[in-house]
Structure 1
Amino acid sequence: MSARDFTRAPFHIRYPREFDFEPKIVSIGPHFYNRTEFSEAMEKKKGEFTDYFLKTPAAFEGLVQRLKDSSDADNVKLQDKIYNWYGGKDKLAPVGWDKLLPMLLRDSFFIIRIIIYLSREANNMLSLGVNVKMVRFDLLLLENQIPLFFLKIVYDYLKNHKALLPITLTEQDSAPNSHETGNTQTASQTHSWCRCLCFKPTSLQQSTGEQTLLPHPDSEQNSSVHATSVQTENLDEFLKELRPFICLDMPWEFNEEHISQLPDHLLDLYWKWCLPSKLPSNTYLRNHRDHTFVRDISWVNIHLRSNADKRIPNACELSKKAGMTFVKRKHEKGFGVEFHKRKGILQLPHLKLDSSQTTLLVNLIAFEEFKPSEDRILTSFILLLDGLINTKKDAELLHSCGVITNKLSSIEMVSEFFNDMGNICKVDYNNHYCKDQFEDLNNYYQSKWSRHRAILQHEHFKSPWAAISMAAGTSLLIMAGLQTAYNIYGFYHHHQ
């Protein structure tokens, strides 16, 4: 039985929005295999970046052969892990293992070259011959992903062979290389790179036509504490290398508090680094493949719940009828939301909307669709914005407050985008990230005190002169009252 495919957008999200999930420049992984619309120039770049690290075709073929039958510490073959990651072998029927592995290797070298450029070379103005920002955008699409564990395998291999030293050279063909000409490597070299990859090396000597496995480097004589610390250190270094790539043009402040294990892919890492610091206690944030606990709630049931009486008034209504104020939240990691009930102030993270950002948001929402309701953090936040923004006037209000920066063609497109997102964002309204904000906003809107204060503010304090007149009248009334009280007190005191 095939595993669930977490690398394909759900049909009800993808069907009217295919354009948001398909890469525009570079195809990564098997989902867009043999698509003719992708330029040969970009495929040529993959070959150039592979040669940048390995230099010779023989070195590449040698690496392919050594990875082909590799298995991890639990004797799970690399082939099985990758097939399972993509939802099963039957999901990749047009692409056999003999084609899939070289494809993933070339894609990995391509991605690592982009990552290295952003983390080490961007300030040196070295040209890769590609539009890095547009390529990065394609590399964050849900259906254009490869396993991050495989990317780390290749990264650690290059690092172990001194191919990832700080690069200050001006010519790509002078890149560091530790491979000898041809595909011959000693057994110790093979064992070295397999140790770095955390995969068992296959013996170079074959007997009876079968390959035997050497002892795993992290065997019983090595303490588990040391192994764990090494893995943690390697993961931290790998994530540090990825940070400039992920955080480029990120609309929120980078937040690294929620990384406890290697994410599934680059989009998953982006999602985790966007999350707010304060999350509900029932939030799991596990990887998709750990979601054995996901409740059996069909999309139809969630859709029906989402249409329950849990909506909130739009921004203009909240401002005019309840006197609410919207402000941009500052110095907060991730897209956290906070409502100050006593002051009637809703703090929202800043969000810049352009064509790239809207597409990325759609992919993140599709990514969260595989998670339980309590883990759909961004979906809940977008639903909150959808409730606040119904019309052009609502979008203009949040734009004037600095919450939204509009880079789309018109302000109407902002309201249209969030209204469209409201149709695909589904949560259990009894259990989601912004549940408290939904309840508090509705309670505040229905409060008589809030409404009376809003009427006073909008009808009697429209201008500074009205406020001054009201203050003067109130002062005269107080003074008249004091004078009356003083006269009454004097009258009774005189007669006594």
Structure 2
Amino acid sequence: MATKLDALLESEPYTIGRVPAYIRERNKKLYEPMVIAIGPYHHGREHLQALEKHKWRFLRDLLSRSTTETSLEALLGKMKALEREARRSYSESIRLTSKEFVKMMLLDGCFIIEFFLKFHERDFVNNTFPGVQYIHLDLLLLENQIPFFVIEELFELVFGGTAENRETPSLIELIRHIHMESGDVNMHSRTLPPPAKILHLLHLYYHWVVPAAVKPSRSDHHSPPLERLFSCFPSMKSEKPERSHKPTLFIASTTELLEAGVTFRKKASPRHMLDITFRNGVMEIPFNHIDDNSKPILTNLVAFEQSILDAPRNITSFSLLMDSLINTEKDVAILQRCDIIDHFLGSEEEVARFFNQLCEHAVIDLSDHYFSELFSEVNFYRDSKWHSYRARLVHDYFSNPWAILSLVAALILLALTFLQTFFAIYSYFRPPN
């Protein structure tokens, strides 16, 4: 009993977990590597064997670059020294012998570094290496990771020295380059966590997408100008419910919010993909490009948050927001017209289905997630009858030129009728001499 307890305590806290079972069932393929296995979870799978021989070639190529004349034995020795710490990084007990585990870490770590170097040097042009795009995506899967310190140690052994004294770009620069070139998910931040706090490649990408120090912009509580104007007249005051910050799981869809008077705009200069604001009935959202590359990345970012107990749920909150806004292909079409969403999937219906499943069964604190205040503000705005009346007025009478002309003509006719009636009554009481 004591031995089992010691083993359990020694294994905590892990940094590379499995995709939780409660969210993986719907989209299994989005969590599994297509062409290459990195780390122990998918090690040895039959359909991933084609690229195993290339790992040895990449190891040879990386050693040939060494500025410190590092030997294979030195790399193996370092991996052996890191074995205990590396095993503890995984949520499961790894059933590989010491020799197998050390060899796997060496081959996978060197493959990653050499892959980034070759991409930086554009060695992959003209499709001289199979599956470059798929390898990049496989390196961002939650279950396809090795500890970041393993990659760092190998990089330092091969190139040595400080970044200022060597010609090779830093490891972080190499990684950032491939992500920026691929453009799979919006990356606006240049901030980084301290190197010691980077867990793995997906975690590093997560920090670029969602900077830890950034807080959501507070929604504007002031009434729109027209509402303040009409509030001067008692009979036309909007019936406002009491402001409440009661936790809520959803907001209305894009179509419903549009009918309630909400306007959607593309964020001009977003700080990051979560820089979504709601002020005076206007929701500003950064541009989102959705295709077959961004789907597994977003899905695994949500899985990463769900796999670590104390991780923030910022991407999960973003997914919840998009799931609320998008129910049907009509909602997608509206966001496309606003230049908020662009996609290369089969149809708007497929985009809607993806967002509806992105955070399905995910766990989140309703009272304290990233967009909890925005949810409350949107629901408060929608519950105000004034906004619905104003939206209906705009839709019915200002939605197209003919409707505007009809309204103007009706007003002119009403004015002429009023004048005719006035002069008729006036002439009755004050007949001309």
Q: TM-score, normalised by structure 1?
A: 0.69
Q: Which position in structure 1 is the counterpart of 2:252?
A: 313
Residue 406 of structure 1 and its aligned partner are, at CA, apart by 1.9
SS in 1 for 2:33: coil
Asked whether the 8 Å contact 2:75–2:157 carries over to 1, the reply is no
Residue 327 of structure 1 and its aligned partner are, at CA, apart by 1.7
Residue 108 of structure 1 and its aligned partner are, at CA, apart by 1.1
Residue 437 of structure 1 and its aligned partner are, at CA, apart by 1.4
| 1:410-458 deviation per Cα after TM superposition (whole angstroms, max 9, x unaligned) | 2111111122224233311100001111111111111122111111011
Gaps of 5+ in 1: 70-77, 168-235, 282-307, 486-496
Give the one of 49, 63, 76 matched to 1:64: 76
Give the one of 190, 197, 205 matched to 1:256: 190
1:455 matched to 2:392: yes
Q: Which position in structure 1 is the counterpart of 2:143?
A: 143
SS in 2 for 1:252: coil
> Percent identity between the aligned chains?
31
Asked whether the 8 Å contact 2:276–2:286 carries over to 1, the reply is no
1:464 matched to 2:401: yes
Q: Distance in 1 between matches of 2:101 and 2:201?
A: 19
Q: Distance in 1 between matches of 2:17 and 2:105?
A: 15
Residue 374 of structure 1 and its aligned partner are, at CA, apart by 8.0
1:241 matched to 2:245: no
Q: Which position in structure 2 is the counterpart of 1:271?
A: 206
Residue 31 of structure 1 and its aligned partner are, at CA, apart by 1.1
Q: TM-score, normalised by structure 2?
A: 0.78
Residue 326 of structure 1 and its aligned partner are, at CA, apart by 1.4
Asked whether the 8 Å contact 2:116–2:178 carries over to 1, the reply is yes
SS in 1 for 2:360: helix
Residue 360 of structure 1 and its aligned partner are, at CA, apart by 1.4
Q: Which position in structure 2 is the counterpart of 1:105?
A: 106
Matches within 5 A, 1:118-129: 118-119=119-120, 121-122=121-122, 125=125, 129=129
Asked whether the 8 Å contact 1:377–1:433 carries over to 2, the reply is yes
Give the one of 70, 91, 105 matched to 1:87: 91
Aligned partner letter, 1:100: F
| 1:49-92 deviation per Cα after TM superposition (whole angstroms, max 9, x unaligned) | 10112259x931342135424xxxxxxxx22211111136xx10
Change (3 A) 1:124 1:482: farther
Asked whether the 8 Å contact 1:365–1:379 carries over to 2, the reply is yes
SS in 1 for 2:47: coil
1:439 matched to 2:338: no
Q: Distance in 1 between matches of 2:52 and 2:162?
A: 26
Residue 130 of structure 1 and its aligned partner are, at CA, apart by 3.1
1:32 matched to 2:42: yes
Change (3 A) 1:479 1:310: farther
Asked whether the 8 Å contact 1:253–1:332 carries over to 2, the reply is no
Q: Distance in 1 between matches of 2:341 and 2:291?
A: 11
Q: Which position in structure 2 is the counterpart of 1:156?
A: 156
Matches within 5 A, 1:344-363: 344-363=281-300
Residue 158 of structure 1 and its aligned partner are, at CA, apart by 1.4
Q: Distance in 2 between matches of 1:252 and 1:32?
A: 28
Give the one of 262, 270, 284 matched to 1:324: 262
Matches within 5 A, 1:179-258: 237-247=170-180, 248-258=182-192
Asked whether the 8 Å contact 1:373–1:431 carries over to 2, the reply is no
SS in 2 for 1:146: coil
1:131 matched to 2:131: yes
| 1:221-249 deviation per Cα after TM superposition (whole angstroms, max 9, x unaligned) | xxxxxxxxxxxxxxx94322221123321
SS in 2 for 1:267: helix
Change (3 A) 1:324 1:162: closer
- Higher RCO, 1 vs 2 (CA within 8 Å, ≥6 residues apart): 2
Asked whether the 8 Å contact 2:266–2:339 carries over to 1, the reply is yes
| 1:101-145 deviation per Cα after TM superposition (whole angstroms, max 9, x unaligned) | 1211111111111111233x1289486523322111111111000
SS in 2 for 1:39: helix
Q: Distance in 1 between matches of 2:382 and 2:52?
A: 56
Q: Distance in 2 between matches of 1:243 and 1:311?
A: 34
Change (3 A) 1:21 1:374: closer
Q: Distance in 2 between matches of 1:16 and 1:338?
A: 28
| 1:280-303 deviation per Cα after TM superposition (whole angstroms, max 9, x unaligned) | 59xxxxxxxxxxxxxxxxxxxxxx
Matches within 5 A, 1:332-347: 332-342=270-280, 344-347=281-284
Residue 472 of structure 1 and its aligned partner are, at CA, apart by 5.7
Q: Distance in 1 between matches of 2:402 and 2:420?
A: 27
Q: Distance in 1 between matches of 2:155 and 2:311?
A: 33
Change (3 A) 1:383 1:482: farther
1:18 matched to 2:31: no
Q: Which position in structure 1 is the counterpart of 2:235?
A: none
Residue 316 of structure 1 and its aligned partner are, at CA, apart by 0.5
Change (3 A) 1:478 1:115: farther
1:378 matched to 2:378: no
Q: Distance in 1 between matches of 2:318 and 2:30?
A: 20
Q: Which position in structure 1 is the counterpart of 2:349?
A: 412
SS in 2 for 1:369: helix
Q: Distance in 2 between matches of 1:157 and 1:458?
A: 66
Residue 476 of structure 1 and its aligned partner are, at CA, apart by 7.8
Q: Distance in 2 between matches of 1:65 and 1:259?
A: 29
| 1:190-210 deviation per Cα after TM superposition (whole angstroms, max 9, x unaligned) | xxxxxxxxxxxxxxxxxxxxx
Aligned partner letter, 1:64: L
Change (3 A) 1:364 1:465: same
Residue 161 of structure 1 and its aligned partner are, at CA, apart by 7.8
Residue 166 of structure 1 and its aligned partner are, at CA, apart by 4.9
Residue 331 of structure 1 and its aligned partner are, at CA, apart by 2.1
Q: Distance in 2 between matches of 1:27 and 1:418?
A: 27
Residue 150 of structure 1 and its aligned partner are, at CA, apart by 0.9
Deviates more, 1:420-429 or 1:450-459: 420-429
Aligned partner letter, 2:317: S
Aligned partner letter, 2:62: F
